[in-house]
Amino acid sequence: MTPPLSDLGILVIDMQDRFLNPWTNTLADKNLLIKSVQSLLNYAPVARIRTWLVEYDFEHMGKTVDEITGNCKYPIFGKMNSGAFEQIGVYNYPDSTGSFYTTCDNILLDEILCHQGIKKLIVAGVCASACVDRTIKGARELGYKVKTAPELIANNFVNLKGFNSAQYLDYTLSEYQRTGVLADSWQEAVKELGG
């Protein structure tokens, strides 16, 4: 008998070519970020955890990099603003054979996740202090239990409003710690959410 699907989902935010290349943040290890997200995604099918890619303006910013997707076709929620829960988007999902994508326009990410029975989320990606942060806040406002870990998120910008990537990330991580969103590792995030 196959165990039921988990009510825990994974959102991978903006791990697209233009957000990752060139990597300008000398204080963050891009390879560690990719390796950590890969490890989480490799674990997900074993635990019956479903994954969605969230991509910003994929026509201009590129698709999620192959290092993340490998040979898998994940459902993709396309957005045009920073927070994935703040907008109507385009939903592309693989057919039952995994060969082709079916498209659904003008849908909310919350509708997609609720339809799938998702109540808890692990969020990974870039930019931690912008799109990832807005997505986490939006999910929490809608009642999702959300976790992330330092190894799953990073910033890749040199300077934003007078602050560097490290300063923004430190502030973001301290906010996640204060609000109970931050776990020590992706494994702890899964454990804390019961996945």
| pLDDT of res. 28 | 80
List, for residues 76-131, the tens digit of each pLDDT value: 999 998 899 999 999 999 987 877 788 888 999 999 999 999 999 999 999 888 89
List, for residues 49-59, the tens digit of each pLDDT value: 999 999 999 88
User: CATH code for 8-192?
Assistant: 3.40.50.850
CA 122 from centre of chain: 7
The token pair at 64 is 């999620």
| pLDDT of res. 117 | 96
pLDDT band of residue 68 (cuts 50, 70, 90) is very high
| pLDDT of res. 163 | 58
- Quote the strand ranges of the chain, DSSP E: 8-13, 50-56, 76-79, 88-94, 101-108, 120-126, 145-147, 153-154
CA distances from 8 to 55, 70, 148, 180 (A): 20, 22, 13, 17
List, for residues 121-174, the tens digit of each pLDDT value: 999 999 888 899 999 999 999 999 999 999 999 988 654 555 566 777 888 899
